[in-house]
């Protein structure tokens, strides 16, 4: 493990070839996933030779705990987000055979704690679904993970649990995504859930992302087993946002062939725009035609002629739009009949 500050190191072809420069802003921190599903960062003061998937004993806020190494090199950005406030703890040692035996005993105690938890829960009026029971490695804390409808006032419940287990008790209410990550499964794509394989943290997924990808028709088809929108909608959002920059928004009004039409769908791959009228008639125009339409509106060129000669001579494809936007006062001389002489509207 090492630390490199770009400002103090001269980067040349020679030291890159010698392996002196490995990665910009590399810090001597280790990324570890705890048994409670949390991902934390620890220092490596003893310069232990660690590899991903190694089990380690780490220092935590109240004692010691066990975790699994995910990465041994991190960028400064990840560390700044994680430790903007708070103390950074260190790795104590790799897991020994004795630690592995202690972990087996802890697993047995967790099963007994789960049974006792469910037994006590029957005396209380609220309902909760217990997902997991995790003892801290040094037994200084016992955490119960559960799901429930809405928020629950379980203060009396926690007090009773603390009296029975004689340790610090934490009740952690999980979301549907947390439950899916813990239980695992397969998505509609046939692969294991992203959250159980490689995702570190959940990204915000909105219905706008589904609309940008023309997937907002049926929510059941774009929702996962957790009941939330599919995480994979977030993966291609930037691509679709870039692709849709030249397309109109849903509901935009266009005047074509003296008819008022509304945009109701954009086919980003075929570059086709679907329009509908008040009479529910469906028409389509290409993206190039739409761009031509926008350019014409900006220039207000009344002598515009479609290059495909689809429209009568001297009649603009977008005359109706011009008439709607260029209205003269009643006493204006242009009201005598010649609409083609209307002045250009100032943008």
The domains of the chain are located at 6-95, 101-174, 178-243, 253-341
The pair of three-digit structure tokens given for residue 166, joined into one six-digit string: 């004689």
Tell me if the domain spanning 101-174 has CATH number 1.10.10. no
The pair of three-digit structure tokens given for residue 6, joined into one six-digit string: 């770009």
- CA–CA gap between residue 255 and residue 317 (Å, rounded): 9
Residue with tokens 């439950």: 179
The pair of three-digit structure tokens given for residue 278, joined into one six-digit string: 């008040």
pLDDT of residue 16: 36
Per-residue pLDDT of the chain (347 residues; tens, 9 = 90+): 333 333 333 434 344 344 444 444 444 788 898 998 888 888 888 888 888 889 999 998 888 999 999 887 765 555 666 566 566 788 999 999 999 999 999 999 999 999 999 999 998 888 889 999 999 999 999 999 998 887 888 888 999 999 999 999 999 988 888 888 888 888 888 888 988 888 877 888 888 888 888 786 678 888 888 888 898 888 888 888 888 888 888 888 888 777 888 888 888 888 898 988 888 888 888 888 888 888 877 776 543 344 443 433 333 344 444 444 434 444 444 444 443 343 444 43
The pair of three-digit structure tokens given for residue 51, joined into one six-digit string: 């590899």
DSSP letter at 139?
S
The C-alpha angle with vertex 22 and arms to 17 and 24, in degrees rounded to 5, equals 125
The pair of three-digit structure tokens given for residue 290, joined into one six-digit string: 């739409």
pLDDT of residue 13: 39
Helix or strand (DSSP H, E) at 273: strand 272-277
Tally of CB atoms within 10 A around 31: 21
Q: Are 49 and 82 in contact, with CB atoms under 8 Å apart? A: no
Helix or strand (DSSP H, E) at 70: strand 63-71
pLDDT of residue 160: 92
Helix or strand (DSSP H, E) at 296: helix 287-299
Bridge partners of 41, per DSSP, are 31
């Amino acid at each position: 493990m090492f630390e490199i500050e770009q400002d103090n190191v001269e980067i040349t072809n020679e030291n890159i070839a010698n392996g002196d420069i490995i990665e910009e802003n590399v810090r001597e921190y280790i990324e570890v996933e705890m048994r409670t599903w949390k991902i934390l960062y620890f220092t490596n003061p003893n310069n232990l030779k660690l590899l991903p998937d190694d089990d380690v004993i780490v220092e935590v806020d109240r004692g010691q705990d066990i975790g699994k190494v995910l990465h041994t090199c991190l960028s400064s950005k990840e560390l700044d987000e994680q430790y903007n406030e708070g103390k950074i703890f260190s790795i104590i040692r790799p897991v020994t055979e004795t630690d592995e035996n202690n972990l087996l005993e802890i697993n047995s105690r967790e099963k007994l704690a789960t049974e006792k938890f469910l037994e006590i829960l029957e005396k209380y009026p609220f309902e909760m679904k217990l997902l997991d029971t995790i003892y801290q490695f040094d037994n200084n804390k016992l955490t119960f993970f559960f799901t429930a409808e809405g928020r629950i006032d379980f203060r009396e419940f926690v007090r009773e649990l603390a009296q029975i287990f004689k340790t610090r008790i934490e009740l952690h209410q999980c979301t549907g995504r947390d439950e899916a990550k813990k239980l695992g499964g397969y998505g509609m794509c046939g692969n294991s859930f992203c959250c159980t394989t490689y995702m570190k943290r959940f990204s915000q997924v909105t219905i706008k992302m589904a609309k940008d990808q023309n997937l907002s028709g049926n929510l059941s088809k774009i929702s996962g087993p957790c009941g939330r929108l599919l995480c994979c909608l977030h993966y291609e959002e930037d691509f679709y946002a870039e692709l849709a920059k030249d397309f109109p928004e849903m509901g935009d009004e266009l005047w074509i062939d003296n008819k008022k039409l509304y945009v109701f769908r954009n086919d980003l791959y075929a570059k086709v725009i679907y329009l509908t009228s008040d009479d529910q008639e469906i028409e389509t125009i290409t993206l190039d035609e739409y761009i031509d339409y926008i350019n014409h509106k900006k220039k207000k060129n009344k002598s515009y002629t479609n290059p495909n000669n689809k429209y009568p001579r001297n009649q603009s494809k977008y005359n109706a739009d011009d008439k709607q936007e260029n209205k003269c006062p009643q006493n204006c001389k242009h009201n005598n009949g010649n609409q083609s002489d209307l002045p250009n509207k100032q943008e």
